[in-house]
Structure 1
Amino acid sequence: MSTPQATTPPAAAQRIGSIDVYRGIVMFLLGLRLLEFDEVAKHFPNSAVWQFLGHHSSHIPWVGCSLNDLIHPSFAYLTGASLVFSVSSRTKQGQTQWHVVLHALWRAVALIFLGIFLRSVDRDATHWTFDETLTQTGMGYMAVFALAYCGTRTRWIWFSIILISYWLLYALYPVIPPHASSMDFNTPEGWQHDFSGFFAHWNHNRNVGWQFDTWLLNQFPRETPYVGYLGGYTTLNFIPTICTMILGLTAGTWLKQANKQGLSPVKTLAIAGGACLTFSFILHLGGICPIVKRLWTPAWVFFSGGCSLLILAALYQIIDIRQWRRWSFVFVVLGMNSLAFYVMRHTLDIWFSETLQKHFGTRVFDVFSPELRPVTIGACTFLVFWLVTLWLYRRKIFIRL
């Protein structure tokens, strides 16, 4: 077989590298949180560079999006895209339908409880919550798995049903008036991002998702009664997250078909991405639904999905068509062992940071300035975690569910 030319799509048997690179970029952005750019930026209020880094390494309070806000939707989107190839691979290996279904069920359950485990780290008891990234993905996984066996029309019908139903759930639920003492319901101090008018149906810890969680989560053993999540996330977010995964499932199908037929899906991905972004702004600016990531509103599904489609289109053009791969090695290492890095990032980060300071002191990390100490320590921690994934990569050890 001849080597693919720079302007041709990858051969059918070749692994689609853009998905691994995209997943690695997502993990890289997650790792950058270790450097605490948002906290360091407070020491440099007049620096445009630090303010930019701080803005995009933290979450938007309510409306809008930062680079950091795209981590979770990208993870969900890539789960859907990868599912296409996972199902195809297991079928080609001769696995029975029941074997594939049971594996998908195992993956869904494992993701749910792994997320709960990560949220329970450093707590005295199991912290029953269902808004963590892995948990949300696991809760919607079987629905997306079922749609992997359906045609395009069926997928879009269910996509529409889910989003419209979710929008109606919020839009028809009575607007909840302000709490007598907002701090008692985990509203951030100085909160000034509540809506008025129709958008008030999507206010922080005053919406149907919050109301549902005050019932559901208090059914589990808790150290203190649940009154709301400081970040405003809710269990019901998993419902529209299914739609984000459906967008990934659709993109994965386009990639698989194009890869098999020797075509380029870049134009299709780009057009779909632009259409999703346009529709998200129509929903927001038209007063139908706000772009709020923390409630995973329908407008957010289209906005984040549009971004994900455009990112994958660009990476496919660069990685799989142009074959410009050298720059991507750092991300490939992370992408091939994303689960291992994700778990390390959420379990060992504080311990490792404290260990570095205990054994080396703090002066060595003040080499640039005391204000930049979190960056220095975080960079060292990030590097060690990446080296662990490199060690796994070199030995062809890939930890997956």
Structure 2
Amino acid sequence: MLLMMGEVLRFGAVSKALPESSFWALLDWHQSHVDWVGCSLHDLIQPSFSFLVGVALPYSVASRATKQQSRQMMWFHTIRRSLILILLGIFLRSMHSTQTNFTFEDTLTQIGLGYPFLFALGFAGKRTQWIALSVILIGYWLFFALYPLPGLYFDWTETGVTADWPHHLKGFAAHWNKNTNAAWAFDRWFMNIFPRENVFRFNGGGYSTLSFIPTLGTMILGLIAGQWLRSTPSSGWFIKRVMITSAILFVTALALDILGINPIVKRIWTPAWTLFSGGWCFLFLGIFYFLVDVKQNQKWFYPLVVIGTNSIAAYIIAHTIDSFIDQSFRINISPQYDTIFGLPYRTLVSGTVILLVEWLILRWMYTKKLFIRI
């Protein structure tokens, strides 16, 4: 959530103003999504969010069980939560539009689409969960692998990319190229079911609705981690298990990518990406668990706790009031308040102000015990 909220710092603008600086170029790269294959720090925001949904599920189910809530009521709450997430994602993507923007590749909608399946798996055994994960990843791999590659007379104007786009993959890996794949073909049908200003032809970023299926795989990995965490016999046992799992996921994903079997592409959430990002999620979970729970350094992470305990509120605030905060300072302080350190650093100043005000709002909610839950 902090990385997402931190987008207002706009390191890219600073890097553009200081083109000779490799420092700002590096920060810009890690605050941007990679063009296609690979991974930046920014690319790990969505899988981390999805992973933690899975981690939290065993605790949520256990809490409801202690309140004597029936399975039927749990399912009612699950379906309601799923619908709210989907509709909230559509609402946020429709802001500043002339009509409802029916789109389903947003983080919230992706989680909402997969959440009922995750909930069902929450009552299954470990073996069933691993089998479900395998079926999802292998099935989704086949879905792309069996879709035909563009032919000689393929109309590239329908894809938003050119035939010589430098990030196109070659050989068998070309089945996972931007807007020429199976998920793109599905959206050219599915997205046009809904009212639109113009016929849907492609997503400019290459994102797709069906990515919720492998995203469910990420949530299953989180579910497994959450069950380990809740039932761990010792801190050492848990850390050892998540680190080994992380290493296995990294090695498997990199092997798939290097051998050309499946590339690591976040934008279409390839099976290799599910494994690769899952490796990072297990690694992060293990590190933070060690620092916070084992070493008892909770005070260090208070700023993150303020944000994390109100993640939905943080997500909405970051997408709605950033420009309002900025304009308020320009009206009431100075139209050039962000030039105090010079023109190249304008976005750092305005972004820091926005980020601080948003955090103070969340801190006020935290101290008043106002938590937005779905």
In the superposition, the TM-score normalised over structure 1's length comes to 0.90
Aligned pairs (5 A) from 1:261-340 = 261-264=233-236, 265-340=238-313
Match of 1:97 among 50, 57, 71: 71
Q: Is the counterpart of residue 353 in structure 1 residue 326 in structure 2?
A: yes
The equivalent residue for 1:252 is 226
| Contact preservation (8 Å) 1:112, 1:138 | yes
Task: Give CA deviations for 1:329-371 in whole Å, capped at 9, x if unaligned.
Answer: 1000000011101001112223332333233333221011112
Partner of 1:387: 360
* Structure 2, unpaired ranges of 5+: none
The answer to whether residue 363 in structure 2 is matched with residue 369 in structure 1 is no
Aligned ranges 1:159-308 → 2 under 5 Å: 159-177=133-151, 182=156, 185-187=159-161, 191-258=165-232, 261-264=233-236, 265-308=238-281
Contact persistence 2:159–2:180 (CA under 8 A): no
**Cα offset for 1:180?**
6.6
Q: Quick one: structure 1 residues 168 and 138, their matched pair in 2 at CA, closer, same or farther if it must change by over 3 Å?
A: same
Q: Judge which range, 262-271 or 353-362, deviates more.
A: 353-362
In structure 2, what is the equivalent of residue 5 of structure 1?
Answer: none
Distance in 1 between the 2:25 and 2:153 partners? 33
SS of equivalent to 2:185: helix
Counterpart in the other structure of 2:42: 68
Q: Which has the higher contact order (CA 8 A, sep 6+)?
A: 1
Q: Determine whether 1:397 maps to 2:365.
A: no
Shift in CA distance, 179/39, structure 1 to aligned 2, threshold 3 Å: farther
Distance of aligned partners of 1:190 and 1:68 in 2 relative to their CA distance in 1, 3 Å threshold: farther
Deviations 1:175-225 (A, max 9, x none): 124887746533399942111211111111111111111111111110111
Structure 2: distance between partners of 1:67 and 1:241: 18
Structure 1 residue aligned with 2:59: 85
Aligned match for 2:31, one of 40, 50, 57:
57
The one of 294, 299, 317 equivalent to 1:344 is: 317
Q: Quick one: which amino acid aligns to residue 54 of structure 1?
A: D
Alpha-carbon distance between aligned partners in 2 of 1:177 and 1:206, rounded to the nearest angstrom:
11
Range that drifts further, 343-352 or 72-81: 343-352
Q: Say which SS state the counterpart of residue 294 (structure 1) adopts.
A: coil
Unaligned runs of 5+ in 1: 1-26
Deviation string for 1:265-324 (max 9, x for gaps)?
Answer: 011011101110110001000110000000100100000000000000011111011101
Closer, same or farther: CA 248–400 of 1 in aligned 2, 3 Å: same
In 2, the alpha carbon distance for the partners of 1:77 and 1:90 equals 21
Identical counterparts, % of pairs: 43
Pairwise CA distance, 1:43: 1.8
Whole-Å separation in 2 of the counterparts to 1:186 and 1:151: 44
Query: In structure 1, what is the Cα distance between the partners aligned to 2:334 and 2:166?
Result: 40
Q: Secondary structure at the match of 1:379?
A: helix
| Mapping 1:5-20, distance limit 5 Å | none
Deviations 1:123-147 (A, max 9, x none): 0100001100000000000111000
SS of equivalent to 2:267: helix
Aligned to 1:19: none
Range 352-361 or range 142-151, more displaced: 352-361
Mark the CA change 1:263 to 1:328 in structure 2 (over 3 Å): closer, same or farther: closer
Conserved in 2, the CA contact under 8 Å of 1:178 and 1:206?
no
Contact preservation (8 Å) 1:177, 1:206: no
